[in-house]
Amino acid sequence: MDVNEFLSQPLVARVANNGPEVRPVWFIWEEGAFWWLTGSYSRMEQILVEDPRAALVVDTCELATSEVFAVTCQGTAQIVSLDRARAVRKLTRYLGPEHLWPVRFSAPLDDPATKMVRFTPDRPLRLRDRSW
């Protein structure tokens, strides 16, 4: 499996930033960056505005096979305007078709305060096999 195939799965990324805080996020990997939603409901936007450096890990652990795979990186986050089409692609990965989403996921897409984080890794990504 290559890194792009791994990151196309509906996995959870954990983002660490200067706070220090670690947050789980649903993401989409496109155009060499991780993208996720943020808004007034989250402190992450303000933290990343103050210090855009962050670290991120996406990993899996299959107990039945003892397989552990991980992508880890450091990079810079940028708060950008909401790209509704990208947000829909991201949420569809996790929730299925848009008409089935709970309102708490669809409503923010119509809120002008909702933005996106574009997190760009400093180096090319590698998928690492961390299995024993």
- List of E strands, the chain: 12-17, 21-26, 28-30, 33-38, 53-62, 67-81, 115-121, 128-129
Does the pLDDT at position 14 exceed 90?
no
Report the half-sphere exposure of 114 (CA within 13 A, side-chain side): 15
**CA–CA separation, 83 vs 97, rounded Å?**
18
Please give the C-alpha separations between residue 32 and each of 29, 80, 100, 122, in angstroms, as whole numbers: 7, 15, 29, 10
pLDDT tens-digit map of 70-96: 999 999 999 999 999 999 999 999 999
Could you tell me the pTM of the whole model? 0.87
Which pLDDT value is given to residue 129?
92
Give how many domains the chain has, as a whole number.
1
**Mean predicted confidence (pLDDT) in 108-125:** 95
pLDDT tens-digit map of 23-72: 899 999 999 999 999 988 788 888 899 999 999 999 998 888 888 999 99
Furthest-apart CA atoms within the chain: distance in Å = 47
Q: Can you read off the two tokens belonging to residue 47? A: 């933290």
Query: Domain range spanning residue 36?
Result: 3-129
Please give the C-alpha separations between residue 36 and each of 10, 13, 28, 64, 75, in angstroms, as whole numbers: 13, 10, 7, 30, 15
CATH number at residue 74: 2.30.110.10
Does the pLDDT at position 132 exceed 80?
no
